[in-house]
Chain A
Amino acid sequence: MTRLNTNQILALILALVALAYLAMAWQIPAFPLPRPIDSELFPKVLGLSLLGLSVALFLEKPKAQDIPDQLDPEEQAKPLWMRPWSRVVITAIAIAAYALLLVPVGFVLASTLLGVGLSAYYGYRRHGVNVAVILGVVLALYLTMTRIMDVYLPTGVLPF
């Protein structure tokens, strides 16, 4: 069996998305009064367009720019938690945790922890400078937003 190329795999995923989208588009209820064009027409056109484009992508030969570059072997040889994809996954988890902890912990503390923690994780070893820069920027943003622009940001466990 011939192996599918990158474009063909992407095309199959997009075709599934298009089919799911079309299924949902067909369930959009009609407006009670007759209209030349209702809410569901545009989504149907979009779904069909995406399906058609998926077919075109399936038939298109991938070029060099369509295939992700090889990762640096030196980076790949690092411990698992420091490898390139691990860095992306851990950053994504940190962002999700930040989103969930922002209100209970507060903007200043949560942002400082996120910034300092990730800088240290990415390899910055001057911890004093790290804390000073991140805390300085976070406090400047916090004071600008809350005191000058009247935007409320959660205080959390801190009293201000």
Chain B
Amino acid sequence: MEAFNNLMYGFGIALEPINIAYVFFGVFAGTIIGMLPGLGPISALALMIPITFAMEPSSGLILMAGVYYGAIFGGSTSSILLNAPGVAGTVATSFDGYPMAKQGMAGKALAIAAYASFIGGTISVVFLMLVAPLLSKVAVSFGPAEYFALMVLGLTAVVSLSDKSLVKGLIAAVVGVMISIMGIDLQTGTERFTFGSAHLLDGIDFLVVALGIFALAEVFYMLLRGGGGKEQPRNAIGSLKLSRGEVKQIAGPIGRSSVLGFFTGVLPGAGATIGSFLGYSMEKRLAKDGDTFGQGNIKGVAAPEAANNAACTGSFVPLLTLGVPGSGTTAVLLGALLVMGVTPGPMMLEQRPDVFWGVIASMYIGNIFLLVLNLPLIPLIARILDLPRPLLLSLILIFCMIGVYGMSFSIFDLLLLLGFGLLGLGMRLFGFPAAPLILALILGNIMEESMRRALQISGGDWMTFIDKPISLGLLVVALLSLGLPLVKKAWIMARAQRA
């Protein structure tokens, strides 16, 4: 009953006309940005931060959440029509979505993606509503030692679950923490790594790094890969209608993948990409016609689409209840919240119920918008994909510039943006994952603060991190998560030998 009352309170906020407009705008903008090949939810969210800067925190987060799941859905459109996923979380959608499009069933695939996203999103919001307050109650008892351990786990999980080198992931994370601690140390007033520059006394704004490493680096990468005007022909949309038999076929996969996706999203480091792959492979195994997966099976579109949207919602659980993001995308969301003056965490439910329940309620509305917007408008929205690449690249550049300058009014930050863009390009070329860097950038300061507070309380005794059972447990899991890629490698080698 309490959850119902809280949800009604949330609807009171989410149904304010201005917030409805923000959800609509967020979902719409997210769908369009996510659709553009190369631009994922992180770039979409980073580009939106300057807009949310002056907003009420609840409205700002409502808009950002809309952008997030809109971008995930938008990615599926380019996956299906172009076989060029705009977002990693929709790669699995292209396995069957693109073959369907080639068979003249793009409309059907897009409609399945819209229904699956809607149902996946809606089921997972119910779970979010039920799980988040429970976890908040547990997290209230967390002290600085537990928080430090939790952040270490968040970082190691993101590193170990990335498909790139473990060592390179850890390097990216260390560099992210290094960037985060630049500026004046708030506990002692000591300057660290400012190189005598007054511009660096407050450290480096995370928006500069996020836009540089993701959006600008993507522009540079597209330029290197012949971004000068090669357009890819897209498949025609065709009919959006589904038969009753097809609805029956996809109902099971959508339901199962929604639940799986949500719990995958809750786990630190997992999220939409892993959720969608798990959903896809689970359905492939369960289906009687599993051998037709990859050739345009409708279940192969429904499962990853339900899972990725559900995982998106699931990733809000650690962010809202613990204040610790489990992925690069939610790290950017956390950064945006901090800019708006809201610190997520277990106390948020007590201190800012408007933000907490407002966002949850807005997700129900956002999912409806996602369906209403995408079903009738998809043939129209898909025309965005015809936008000439040179114009698109120039527009992204302008958005990056105004995003940074509009926040800091600093020419120095524009030059830093360029530097991070080049760094991001280098990271991409040489196989360094960017998500650990951005997550570490957001967590670095808080991590150091938690570590120092824990040591202050224990009088400098490092055993404090091991004496507390929760902290010890989290650190052990963090250590085990680093061993995961080695286990995976050994398993693949053993399988290869057996074959």
Contact = CB atoms under 8 A, between A and B. Distances in A.
A1 interface: no
Contacts, number: 188
A46 B441 CA distance: 13
B391 A130 contact: yes
A53 to B, nearest CB: 5
Interface string B401-420: 11001100101001101100
- Residue of B219, B391, B414, B429 most packed against chain A (CB within 10 A): B391
Interface in A108-125: 111, 114-116, 118-120, 122-124
A98 B402 contact: no
Contacts of B164: 65
A71 B165 CA distance: 23
Nearest to B413: A99
Nearest to A82: B228
A43 B165 contact: no
Interface string A58-83: 00100101111001100100000010
Contact of B411 (A49, A100, A124, A153): A100
Nearest to B387: A133
- Residue of B167, B187, B394, B459 most packed against chain A (CB within 10 A): B394
If over half of A's interface residues share one DSSP class (helix, strand or loop), that class is named, otherwise mixed; here it is: helix
Nearest to A32: B188
Contacts of A149: 51, 53-54
A12 interface: no
B48 interface: no
B472 interface: no
A88 B389 CA distance: 15
A22 to B, nearest CB: 11
Interface residues of A, number: 69
A10 B168 CA distance: 10
A64 to B, nearest CB: 9
B227 interface: yes
B401 A98 contact: yes
Nearest to B190: A39
Contacts of B287: none
A54 B174 CA distance: 11
A125 to B, nearest CB: 9
Interface stretch (B32-40, B177-185, B236-244): B177-185
B54 A122 contact: no
Contacts of B220: 88, 91-92
A91 to B, nearest CB: 6
Given A92-B418, A102-B405, A111-B401, 8 more contacts: A36-B452, A49-B170, A65-B165, A85-B224, A87-B224, A91-B220, A107-B402, A138-B398
A-B pairs, top 9 by smallest CB distance, nearest first, are A36-B460, A122-B390, A99-B414, A123-B229, A124-B390, A66-B431, A115-B394, A87-B223, A68-B429
Interface of A: 6, 10, 14, 21, 24, 28-29, 31, 35-39, 42-43, 46, 49-50, 53-54, 56-57, 60, 63, 65-68, 71-72, 75, 82, 84-85, 87-88, 91-92, 95-96, 98-100, 102-103, 107, 111, 114-116, 118-120, 122-124, 129-130, 133-134, 137-138, 141, 145, 149-153
Interface of B: 50-51, 53-54, 164-165, 167-168, 170-171, 174-175, 177-178, 181, 185, 187-188, 190, 192-193, 219-220, 223-229, 388-391, 393-395, 397-399, 401-402, 405-406, 409, 411, 414-415, 417-418, 421-422, 425, 429-431, 448, 451-452, 455-456, 458-460
